[in-house]
Amino acid sequence: MNAEDTLPVATETKPDVNKLILREALSWLWVILAFLFITGTIVQARVIPSGSMERTLLVGDHLLMSRLGYEAELPMTPLHMRLWRNPHRQQIIVFRAPLPGTPDYIKRLIGLPGYELEIREGVVSINGKPLNEPYRADPPNPTDNYGPVTVPAGEYFMMGDNRDDSYDSRYWGFVPRDNIIGTPVMVYMSINAPEETWNPGHIRDRMTTYISILIHPGIVRWRRIFKFF
Protein backbone atom coordinates (compact mmCIF):
# COMPACT_ATOMS: atom_id res chain seq x y z
CA MET A 1 0.00 0.00 0.00
CA ASN A 2 1.37 3.35 -1.01
CA ALA A 3 1.60 6.28 1.34
CA GLU A 4 -1.05 7.95 -0.78
CA ASP A 5 -3.46 5.10 0.02
CA THR A 6 -3.13 5.37 3.81
CA LEU A 7 -6.50 6.13 5.47
CA PRO A 8 -6.58 9.25 7.63
CA VAL A 9 -6.78 8.58 11.36
CA ALA A 10 -9.76 10.26 13.01
CA THR A 11 -8.72 12.39 15.93
CA GLU A 12 -11.17 13.01 18.78
CA THR A 13 -11.48 16.63 19.76
CA LYS A 14 -11.15 17.09 23.51
CA PRO A 15 -14.00 19.02 25.07
CA ASP A 16 -13.22 22.47 26.41
CA VAL A 17 -13.50 21.97 30.17
CA ASN A 18 -13.96 25.67 30.83
CA LYS A 19 -16.89 25.85 28.40
CA LEU A 20 -18.52 22.83 29.98
CA ILE A 21 -18.21 24.35 33.45
CA LEU A 22 -19.60 27.67 32.22
CA ARG A 23 -22.51 25.95 30.50
CA GLU A 24 -23.34 23.98 33.65
CA ALA A 25 -23.08 27.09 35.82
CA LEU A 26 -25.45 29.02 33.53
CA SER A 27 -27.94 26.14 33.62
CA TRP A 28 -27.99 26.19 37.41
CA LEU A 29 -28.16 29.98 37.43
CA TRP A 30 -31.39 29.88 35.42
CA VAL A 31 -32.82 27.26 37.79
CA ILE A 32 -31.96 29.40 40.82
CA LEU A 33 -33.39 32.55 39.23
CA ALA A 34 -36.61 30.74 38.32
CA PHE A 35 -36.89 29.41 41.89
CA LEU A 36 -36.36 32.88 43.37
CA PHE A 37 -38.92 34.39 41.01
CA ILE A 38 -41.56 31.75 41.81
CA THR A 39 -41.10 31.87 45.58
CA GLY A 40 -40.75 35.64 45.59
CA THR A 41 -43.83 36.49 43.53
CA ILE A 42 -46.10 33.49 42.92
CA VAL A 43 -46.17 30.67 45.45
CA GLN A 44 -44.46 29.54 48.65
CA ALA A 45 -44.70 26.51 50.91
CA ARG A 46 -45.62 27.06 54.57
CA VAL A 47 -46.32 24.84 57.57
CA ILE A 48 -48.76 25.49 60.44
CA PRO A 49 -46.89 25.46 63.81
CA SER A 50 -49.74 26.24 66.25
CA GLY A 51 -53.41 25.63 66.91
CA SER A 52 -54.64 29.22 66.60
CA MET A 53 -56.54 28.46 63.36
CA GLU A 54 -58.11 25.13 64.31
CA ARG A 55 -60.48 23.69 62.98
CA THR A 56 -59.69 25.36 59.66
CA LEU A 57 -55.94 24.69 59.80
CA LEU A 58 -54.30 22.02 61.93
CA VAL A 59 -50.82 21.87 63.42
CA GLY A 60 -48.67 20.13 60.82
CA ASP A 61 -50.68 21.24 57.78
CA HIS A 62 -48.29 21.99 54.91
CA LEU A 63 -49.69 24.74 52.69
CA LEU A 64 -49.06 26.22 49.31
CA MET A 65 -49.51 29.96 49.71
CA SER A 66 -50.28 32.26 46.79
CA ARG A 67 -48.61 35.65 46.96
CA LEU A 68 -49.61 36.56 43.40
CA GLY A 69 -50.73 40.17 43.35
CA TYR A 70 -50.18 40.71 47.08
CA GLU A 71 -46.44 41.11 47.38
CA ALA A 72 -43.13 40.51 45.64
CA GLU A 73 -39.89 39.99 47.54
CA LEU A 74 -36.30 39.03 47.01
CA PRO A 75 -36.01 35.79 49.05
CA MET A 76 -33.61 35.75 52.00
CA THR A 77 -33.50 39.55 52.04
CA PRO A 78 -35.67 42.24 53.69
CA LEU A 79 -36.50 43.66 50.24
CA HIS A 80 -40.20 43.44 49.35
CA MET A 81 -42.76 45.41 47.38
CA ARG A 82 -46.52 45.74 47.81
CA LEU A 83 -48.55 44.77 44.73
CA TRP A 84 -52.05 45.62 43.51
CA ARG A 85 -54.36 43.15 45.32
CA ASN A 86 -56.04 43.84 48.65
CA PRO A 87 -57.52 41.11 50.88
CA HIS A 88 -61.21 40.84 51.70
CA ARG A 89 -63.02 40.20 54.97
CA GLN A 90 -62.93 36.65 56.41
CA GLN A 91 -60.11 35.64 54.05
CA ILE A 92 -57.24 33.65 55.57
CA ILE A 93 -54.08 35.74 55.37
CA VAL A 94 -50.35 35.12 55.84
CA PHE A 95 -48.59 38.24 57.09
CA ARG A 96 -45.45 39.45 58.80
CA ALA A 97 -46.04 39.63 62.51
CA PRO A 98 -45.97 43.21 63.81
CA LEU A 99 -43.64 42.01 66.58
CA PRO A 100 -39.88 42.11 65.79
CA GLY A 101 -38.18 38.73 65.56
CA THR A 102 -41.47 36.79 65.34
CA PRO A 103 -42.18 34.33 62.49
CA ASP A 104 -44.95 35.10 60.00
CA TYR A 105 -48.51 34.67 61.27
CA ILE A 106 -51.55 33.16 59.59
CA LYS A 107 -54.96 34.45 60.73
CA ARG A 108 -58.36 35.37 59.38
CA LEU A 109 -59.04 38.95 58.33
CA ILE A 110 -61.97 40.23 60.41
CA GLY A 111 -61.83 44.03 60.24
CA LEU A 112 -61.31 46.10 57.09
CA PRO A 113 -60.00 49.70 57.01
CA GLY A 114 -62.59 52.26 58.07
CA TYR A 115 -65.01 49.77 59.66
CA GLU A 116 -66.01 49.82 63.31
CA LEU A 117 -65.33 46.54 65.11
CA GLU A 118 -66.55 45.42 68.52
CA ILE A 119 -66.47 42.14 70.42
CA ARG A 120 -69.06 41.55 73.16
CA GLU A 121 -69.19 38.23 74.99
CA GLY A 122 -67.23 36.68 72.14
CA VAL A 123 -69.55 37.85 69.36
CA VAL A 124 -67.88 40.02 66.70
CA SER A 125 -69.87 42.93 65.29
CA ILE A 126 -68.93 45.00 62.25
CA ASN A 127 -70.58 48.42 62.05
CA GLY A 128 -73.08 47.25 64.66
CA LYS A 129 -74.07 44.01 62.87
CA PRO A 130 -73.05 40.56 64.23
CA LEU A 131 -70.61 38.76 61.95
CA ASN A 132 -71.54 35.24 60.84
CA GLU A 133 -68.53 33.03 61.63
CA PRO A 134 -69.23 29.35 60.83
CA TYR A 135 -65.48 28.57 60.80
CA ARG A 136 -64.99 29.17 64.55
CA ALA A 137 -63.61 26.27 66.58
CA ASP A 138 -65.71 26.95 69.69
CA PRO A 139 -68.83 28.92 70.67
CA PRO A 140 -68.33 32.58 71.64
CA ASN A 141 -66.57 33.08 74.97
CA PRO A 142 -68.63 35.32 77.31
CA THR A 143 -65.43 36.79 78.76
CA ASP A 144 -64.10 37.95 75.38
CA ASN A 145 -64.73 41.68 75.01
CA TYR A 146 -62.95 44.25 72.89
CA GLY A 147 -63.60 47.71 71.48
CA PRO A 148 -65.39 49.31 69.86
CA VAL A 149 -62.56 50.47 67.60
CA THR A 150 -62.39 51.86 64.07
CA VAL A 151 -59.82 50.09 61.91
CA PRO A 152 -57.34 52.73 60.62
CA ALA A 153 -56.84 53.35 56.91
CA GLY A 154 -54.39 50.93 55.31
CA GLU A 155 -54.57 48.48 58.25
CA TYR A 156 -56.47 45.30 59.13
CA PHE A 157 -57.77 43.48 62.21
CA MET A 158 -56.79 39.78 62.31
CA MET A 159 -58.09 36.97 64.51
CA GLY A 160 -57.58 33.22 64.76
CA ASP A 161 -60.47 30.81 64.29
CA ASN A 162 -59.57 29.18 67.61
CA ARG A 163 -60.28 32.36 69.57
CA ASP A 164 -59.35 31.04 73.02
CA ASP A 165 -55.92 29.97 71.78
CA SER A 166 -55.01 32.77 69.37
CA TYR A 167 -52.54 35.60 69.89
CA ASP A 168 -53.97 38.13 67.45
CA SER A 169 -55.05 41.75 66.90
CA ARG A 170 -56.93 41.79 70.20
CA TYR A 171 -53.53 41.78 71.91
CA TRP A 172 -51.02 43.44 69.58
CA GLY A 173 -53.14 45.69 67.35
CA PHE A 174 -53.64 46.17 63.63
CA VAL A 175 -51.72 44.77 60.66
CA PRO A 176 -50.43 47.27 58.05
CA ARG A 177 -51.18 46.43 54.41
CA ASP A 178 -47.43 46.30 53.72
CA ASN A 179 -47.16 43.32 56.09
CA ILE A 180 -49.52 41.12 54.08
CA ILE A 181 -47.72 38.38 52.13
CA GLY A 182 -50.43 36.18 50.63
CA THR A 183 -53.22 33.69 51.19
CA PRO A 184 -53.23 29.87 51.40
CA VAL A 185 -54.44 27.92 48.38
CA MET A 186 -54.10 24.24 49.23
CA VAL A 187 -52.95 21.72 51.84
CA TYR A 188 -50.42 19.49 50.08
CA MET A 189 -49.42 17.49 53.17
CA SER A 190 -50.67 17.18 56.75
CA ILE A 191 -48.72 15.39 59.47
CA ASN A 192 -49.86 14.73 63.02
CA ALA A 193 -46.81 15.67 65.10
CA PRO A 194 -46.13 17.82 68.21
CA GLU A 195 -46.18 21.62 67.79
CA GLU A 196 -42.49 22.01 68.59
CA THR A 197 -41.65 19.92 65.50
CA TRP A 198 -42.76 22.77 63.26
CA ASN A 199 -41.26 25.67 65.20
CA PRO A 200 -38.29 27.53 63.68
CA GLY A 201 -34.94 25.87 64.29
CA HIS A 202 -36.28 22.33 64.77
CA ILE A 203 -34.83 21.01 61.49
CA ARG A 204 -33.72 17.69 62.97
CA ASP A 205 -37.18 17.04 64.44
CA ARG A 206 -38.78 17.78 61.08
CA MET A 207 -36.45 15.47 59.20
CA THR A 208 -37.06 12.69 61.72
CA THR A 209 -40.81 13.17 61.35
CA TYR A 210 -40.67 13.05 57.55
CA ILE A 211 -38.58 9.86 57.63
CA SER A 212 -40.90 8.24 60.17
CA ILE A 213 -43.76 8.45 57.65
CA LEU A 214 -42.18 5.47 55.89
CA ILE A 215 -42.62 3.39 59.07
CA HIS A 216 -45.76 5.03 60.47
CA PRO A 217 -47.85 6.27 57.51
CA GLY A 218 -50.76 6.71 59.90
CA ILE A 219 -49.32 10.04 61.12
CA VAL A 220 -50.28 11.53 57.76
CA ARG A 221 -53.78 13.02 57.68
CA TRP A 222 -54.49 11.67 54.23
CA ARG A 223 -57.99 13.15 54.00
CA ARG A 224 -56.64 16.69 54.34
CA ILE A 225 -54.30 16.42 51.37
CA PHE A 226 -55.49 18.54 48.43
CA LYS A 227 -57.84 20.52 50.63
CA PHE A 228 -58.42 23.85 48.86
CA PHE A 229 -59.36 27.23 50.33
For residue 120, what are the CA distances in angstroms to 64, 94, 126, 143? 35, 26, 11, 8
CA atoms within 13 A on the CB side of 191: 23
- Length reported for the chain: 229
Over its C-alpha atoms, the chain yields an Rg (Å, rounded) of 26
DSSP H or E stretch at residue 31: helix 17-41
Please state, in angstroms and rounded to a whole number, the distance separating the CA atoms of residues 30 and 120. Answer: 55
- Pick the catalytic residue from 52, 66, 169, 190: 52
User: Could you give the CA distance from residue 183 to residue 22 in angstroms, rounded to a whole number?
Assistant: 39
Separation in Å, CA 222 to CA 141, 187, 192, 226? 32, 10, 10, 9
CB 51 within 8 A of CB 165: yes
Instruction: Tell me if 172 sits within 8 A of 146, measured CB to CB.
Output: no
> Of the listed 50, 66, 107, 169, which one is catalytic?
107
For the question of residue 107 being annotated catalytic, the response is yes
* Strands 155-159 vs 123-126: parallel, antiparallel or unpaired: unpaired
User: Catalytic: 14?
Assistant: no
Q: How many CB atoms lie within 10 A of CB 70?
A: 22
The residues annotated as belonging to the active site are 52, 107
